[in-house]
Chains A and B, each alone.
Chain A
Amino acid sequence: MRLETEEVAPGVSKINLTGRLDIGGTQEIELHFNALAGSQRAIIVDLSQVDFIASLGLRLLIVGARTVQRKGGRMILFRPPIAVEAVLVSSGTDNVVGILRDLDEAIHAVSG
């Protein structure tokens, strides 16, 4: 699992994840991810290169989203593949952190 960040707009971070958010993958990135959730106020989590997610990965996203929200910020999930989106929806994760597919819309949703 790989985690990279880029600034897609002033103050807006996009976290690009690549690989499987299974137990191993989640553990590999959780420290970095949690640190970002604790320090950034506008986060877009790009899931387009994530081909698997299960409960541990979901928890990482949910806890991260709540951390950001608690500090007055916003987080959005971006372009999950169909299989991943199905799990996000069936678990109700999308009620905690929204899903968007357009980058401008996502930037707008997490900004100011």
Chain B
Amino acid sequence: MSHANGSGGRTIPVSMGRRLLIDTEEVAPGVTKVNLRGRLDANGVQTISTTFDRVARTQVRLIVDLSRVSFIASTGLRTLIGAAHSVASRDGRMVFLGPEASVESVLITSGTDAVVPIFQDLAEAICAVSVGGVDDDDRPTTSLPFSLQVDRSMRGVARVGAWVDELAILLNLSHRTEYALRLCLEEAVTNIVTHAKPVPGVDAEKVGLRLIAEPGQLCMTLQDHCEEYNPLQSGNVGATQDVSGEGGLGIGLLRQHARDVTWSRVGPVNRLMLTIPR
């Protein structure tokens, strides 16, 4: 690994587990790169968590170098996302560097890359986490990511309701914002559960939700792996017409409580995005 312009050297490895190694280095003034080597599975996470959590809690410009990570499982993802929360809550920035194809694929499918950008070039990564870097005007200063995966079933819809209860407290949402969030998520997930059709051979049992809480708004993304289905086609049907359960009433309500409601097909995934003002 290369060092940038005369900055500090590498520290000695601070945690040696059988499967995952961690060390840190300063690659630019104020910019810390955490190097992970091995498997980011449950055991691996355990061996590095003390060090990694400390780094996440103290650094505001953090590059997580995944180039030597051979495997990542959900525990590993959770640890990374937790670190992102921690850094973001202190107005910092975190990016990933150089994941190999299989790891990158996990980051993209889980939507983690929408919250923690992926770079393949160290100089670009340094730029992205530094103040005055490329993103400076675009990215909000305080954005907290939250994510949830639920079963594509009515039980999943119920779980979403419980998640909204938690978020209302965590984010100190106004009554009105909480109502809008609860309504939009209920309508959107119900629509996916009721109308989306699984693709033969593709596991479509989960709906992924990602919320990014910005100072003035909540940005919501919902994803499923079913056949191409655009829930927004149902249009805005009023109560006097829709009682048949076709979803028009629900989407109409959703549009009244959110803005920038868009649907797109991204590879094998239906992606619904919406914004709720706070």
B239 touches A58 (CB 8 A): yes
**B157 touches which of A23, A63, A95 (Cβ 8 Å):** A23
B238 touches A92 (CB 8 A): yes
B249 touches A55 (CB 8 A): yes
Whether a CB of chain A sits under 8 angstroms from the CB of B199 is: no
A59 touches B245 (CB 8 A): yes
A83 touches B175 (CB 8 A): yes
In whole angstroms, how far apart are the Cα atoms of A92 and B158 in the complex?
26
Whether a CB of chain A sits under 8 angstroms from the CB of B183 is: yes
**B249 touches which of A22, A27, A91, A95 (Cβ 8 Å):** A91
B158 touches A83 (CB 8 A): no
In whole angstroms, how far apart are the Cα atoms of A26 and B157 in the complex?
13
Whether a CB of chain B sits under 8 angstroms from the CB of A93 is: yes
- Give the size category of A's interface with B: 20 to 34
Q: How many A-B residue pairs have CB under 8 A?
A: 62
Interface positions of A from 8 to 37, Cβ below 8 Å from B: 20, 22-24, 27
B240 touches A55 (CB 8 A): no
B179 touches A63 (CB 8 A): no
A87 touches B253 (CB 8 A): yes
Tell me which residues across on chain B come within 8 A of A58, comparing CB atoms.
239, 249, 253
B253 touches A55 (CB 8 A): yes
Given A24-B161, A55-B187, CB of A95 within 8 Å of CB of B253: no
Q: How far is the CB of A48 from chain B (nearest CB, A)?
A: 16
Whether a CB of chain B sits under 8 angstroms from the CB of A109 is: no
Whether a CB of chain A sits under 8 angstroms from the CB of B259 is: no
**B186 touches which of A22, A27, A66, A93 (Cβ 8 Å):** A22
Q: Which residue of B lies closest to A97 (CB)?
A: B239
B186 touches A63 (CB 8 A): no
Q: How far is the CB of B44 from chain A (nearest CB, A)?
A: 38
Tell me which residues across on chain B come within 8 A of A83, comparing CB atoms.
175-176, 179
Count B interface residues, CB 8 Å: 22
Whether a CB of chain A sits under 8 angstroms from the CB of B210 is: no
A22 touches B161 (CB 8 A): yes
A91 touches B252 (CB 8 A): yes
Mark B146-174 against chain A: 1 for CB-CB distance below 8 A, else 0: 00000000100110010000000000000
Q: How far is the CB of A24 from chain B (nearest CB, A)?
A: 5
Given A54-B250, A55-B249, CB of A87 within 8 Å of CB of B239: no
Tell me which residues across on chain B come within 8 A of A22, comparing CB atoms.
161, 182, 186
Whether a CB of chain B sits under 8 angstroms from the CB of A96 is: yes
B240 touches A96 (CB 8 A): yes
Q: How far is the CB of B252 from chain A (nearest CB, A)?
A: 7
* Residue of B176, B239, B249, B256 with most chain A CB atoms under a 10 A cut-off: B239
A92 touches B240 (CB 8 A): yes
Tell me which residues across on chain B come within 8 A of A27, comparing CB atoms.
154
B239 touches A23 (CB 8 A): no
B183 touches A87 (CB 8 A): yes
B179 touches A59 (CB 8 A): no
Whether a CB of chain A sits under 8 angstroms from the CB of B243 is: yes
Tell me which residues across on chain A come within 8 A of B252, comparing CB atoms.
91
Q: How far is the CB of B272 from chain A (nearest CB, A)?
A: 16
Whether a CB of chain A sits under 8 angstroms from the CB of B190 is: yes
Instruction: Spell out A's residues near B (CB within 8 Å).
Output: 20, 22-24, 27, 52, 54-56, 58-59, 62-63, 66, 83, 87, 90-93, 95-96
Instruction: Spell out B's residues near A (CB within 8 Å).
Output: 154, 157-158, 161, 175-176, 179, 182-183, 186-187, 190, 238-240, 243, 245, 249-250, 252-253, 256
